[in-house]
Amino acid sequence: MRKKCFKGMPPMPSRSFEMDERLLRDSKPLVTLELCQARLMDDCRWPWVILVPQRKGITELFELTPLDQAVLTFEQMTVAAAMKETTSATKINVAAIGNIVRQLHIHVIARTEGDANWPGPVWGFGTAEPYASDQEDEFKNRFLKALHR
């Protein structure tokens, strides 16, 4: 059984941490972890979570402190495992691209054979399909249950 380290004091973001407006617009809050805000991309074609480290001015992984790099790796793997459990996906894609939104954020995307663009990338494919309220709530509940196992 996996042990999670998400209890205790709430995480403290950098004092002037601000999330890029595009990340705020395109995603919805799921949970705040020790380092990152986990957010659900508002596109129901793929279960897609982004992790945004709560650090000011960071655009690259190597700009994080060694401790933050370790915490990010742990959170990334924990979220990926929860996505796999929640979705039974064929493959979990993890990427940090940042060509358009420079603020460091990690994509964790559950892919399934036969999904909207399998096996191609999700970026730039078609038009996002926002979650219906009940569909979003159902995914969030299943994901958070898997995350905290």
CATH of the domain at 71: 3.30.428.10
- pLDDT exceeds 50 at position 6: no
Q: At 41, is the secondary structure helix, strand, or coil?
A: strand
pLDDT in tens, 73-101: 999 999 999 999 999 999 999 999 988 89
Q: At 140, is the secondary structure helix, strand, or coil?
A: helix
Length of the chain (residues): 149
Does some domain include residue 16? Answer: yes
Nearest to 35 by CA among 137, 106, 93, 141: 106
Q: How many domains does the chain have?
A: 1
The C-alpha atoms of residue 115 and residue 45 are separated, in whole angstroms, by: 7
Does some domain include residue 124? Answer: no
Does some domain include residue 80? Answer: yes
pLDDT in tens, 22-59: 999 999 999 999 999 999 999 999 999 999 999 999 99
**Section 54-71 average pLDDT:** 97
Record the pTM. Answer: 0.88
Q: Range of 77's domain?
A: 12-114
Does some domain include residue 3? Answer: no
